[in-house]
Structure 1
Amino acid sequence: MIVVADSANWKVGVPGLTTSLRGLVDCTVEVEALHQAVHSGMFGGPVIDAYTLLARLLATLHDADGEVAVAGLHEAAEPEVDYDEASFRADAGLLDGVRLAGSGSIAGRLWAKPTIAVVGIDATPVDRASNTIAPRARAKVSMRIAPGQDPAQAAELLRAHLEANAPFGARVTVVDGDLGKPFSAPEDSAAMRAARWAFEASWGTAPVDIGIGGSIPFIADLLEVFPDAAILVTGVEDPDSLAHGADESVHLGELEKVVLAEALLLRRLAGA
């Protein structure tokens, strides 16, 4: 067995066992309209700046309801776990009045569907801006793919969408980035049964089988190297941990419980 302790719990006081992870595809897309920057008064009107062209291109990645608009991407089965909207909004820190994007259950949107986010843009800082039309602009696009999706195929679909939607005939260049395979675990394996026992013994409450919208691509590498190994994905994060954020933290009570749970798990697997 291989235990990967890089996931999350359902909430403080309720452990989680991860049964699925989305995969990851990213790329850098550049939009180019001019050979050089030009005066916005002398040339503006017939010529649209590259920042606006890039914004128009990125806007095609979602439809009016916020669903991913890249054709051909896979969707996994709808999860059975109920993640209510009030809890999600609080966990995400969503501002009042901001509507949720997409359709279906919140758990399904997080764990079983592809999502796309723009995670970086190269642009002139506001305090250094001048009245010129930018000739080019680029952004980094990150796409999470559903369990069951081939990352290479997803990357080709994303590239095809971006190239087909070049605004006003602008030159669109896509540079491929990282590829990470999704992961699905058998829900009723001997390893999962042992883990459920250990987690319930430690927390005093049964764990919830959850999916995670994030990715741990090296799990697929582990399965290639150790094809007969059982992979168990656990973790100590809770919704307040702010994973990858500036104030990332861990709940010390949950950390204590997960340490005990994994000790109990190893003891049971050893036949003690």
Structure 2
Amino acid sequence: MSISLSEIEAAAGRIAGHVLRTPVLEISPGVFLKLEQLQHAGSFKVRGAFNRVLSAPAVPAAGVIAASGGNHGMAVAWVARALGLRAEIFVPTVTSPVKVAWLGALGAHVTQTGAVYAEAAEAASKRAAETGALEVHAFDQREVVAGQGTLGLELLEQTGGVDTVLVAVGGGGLISGVAAAIGASRVVAVEPELIPTLHAALEAGRPVRVSVSGVAADALGASQVGALPFAVLGSSGVRSVLVSDEAIVEGRRALWGEHRVAAEHSGAAAFAALASGVYVPEEGERVAVVVCGSNTDLSTLT
């Protein structure tokens, strides 16, 4: 099972005009930040959400439904508002109050249930079966993964090509989409030490459940990598590195303090690998870091 380049190119055409072409910042020679935290709803997630909804033959009267740690839910709510649809979002109790408030502001019907994302996802699937709403999965649907892959195509165009792209991983939708778009050999997975979903799956040879905790748990808090992302990545030779919560916190501070880039902890995770020395580029290597989200309490940046 894989995602084809043609699927990603089709997604790019489908969502054009609905999503932003987010900027790239070259912070030192050959080192780029892809500022996806400036995307609609504050994260890359609207790419996959728009592609999923716009790919559907029809959307039921019940609208769309999703489970989320926050960012995916906000993306689905944004898409629903833009297209005049009803949105119902299930989030776990770990979701930050800021994200819950923003979900409400976007007009979504919000249910907070379960301690972790997996429990909210179970509740959302049950509700979708009852209502007939179109389910938009956070990371384990073809249309969602293909939509996220459009970021990779955009990045290559903007930079003129890079050797390596550092991508934070939760359920694996973004990294599998980017890998399908530009080649897994160019992609490095960055995961919190406390939520090593892809790292553990690569070691085990299959998706396995991990415990969920730490500063990035509200956005990278999938209990295991998705079946589709693992099918794309499992035998691809993709590299995975782990970063500590302390490195993520310091990376987030550095993004703001040195570059005035406001990111949530998950959005700073990939940069943390570079800033902490967990990932050290070779001489002359061109590296891009995806800053994937900005839905955070801005008072905590300093």
In the superposition, the TM-score normalised over structure 1's length comes to 0.27
Q: Which has the higher contact order (CA 8 A, sep 6+)?
A: 1
Q: Which has the higher helix share?
A: 2
In the superposition, the TM-score normalised over structure 2's length comes to 0.25
| Bigger Rg, which one | 1
